[in-house]
Structure 1
């Protein structure tokens, strides 16, 4: 299951991503926010992070205006590896090399069509299981 969360600036993009997930029968849980009323991105980063930490969800998608603040908030949580991606190459590389479990997107940075391609790449790329990448991820957890 995919955890998804956003602040007010990410609301429209979240709706488009949910439509993509539903069209592909990909299970998700929406952690908000539910409209364009001003909200605080750390709240949603923490909700998505907790869902991954407690294994309620396998991966997460977070959206704010730039993707920066919400990724910083998520990365403060143990076991969360949130990657801010503005292109498909980065989305693929972060899954292959970093086993990132959260994709962060900037709704004011990427358009909906491009964001959907980034999400698709992130969700359809598996971790490489390469020894050097495993070692490096373990170093992050220390």
Structure 2
């Protein structure tokens, strides 16, 4: 898969670890920034990742900020994106299986890098369950048409 990754200054310390981990799983990774730990505005980087996923030039996205919350709120505003904060491995599994999540948002301040790597692995290996969830995801995505 083609995976795009970005962070803000609060998630910067985990970005390289996560990029290397995802490459180790055999995926193509593109780091969309930032290049330093200097203070930046997370919406700028969430938007870059979300737009790449939305347009189909990336299969999935990974965002890291202090909590993951701001990144998820921003990314989810881009049509076609289903972004969520993940704080447990079960959340990573269910966001894929039930919601066909395509952008995962992680906490760089409150979650250890190895835990985030485990969440990412689950996010990348869990398939969408389809079935009864298909109609629900379609209803969710219909909200993009109302904008």
Q: Look up the match of 1:136.
A: 136
| RMSD, matched Cα | 0.8
Q: Look up the match of 1:39.
A: 40
Q: Look up the match of 2:96.
A: 95
User: Aligned with 2:10: secondary structure?
Assistant: helix
**Unpaired segments of 5 or more residues in structure 2?**
143-147
**Unpaired segments of 5 or more residues in structure 1?**
none
Range with greater deviation from structure 2 (37-46 or 25-34): 25-34
Q: Look up the match of 1:82.
A: 83
User: Aligned with 1:77: secondary structure?
Assistant: coil
Q: Structure 2 length normalisation: TM-score?
A: 0.93
- 1:1-142 to 2 correspondence within 5 Å? 1-130=2-131, 132-142=132-142
Q: What displacement does 1:24 show? A: 2.6
Q: What displacement does 1:23 show? A: 2.1
User: Aligned with 1:79: secondary structure?
Assistant: coil
Q: Structure 1 length normalisation: TM-score?
A: 0.96
Give runs of ≥4 in structure 1 deviating > 4 Å: none
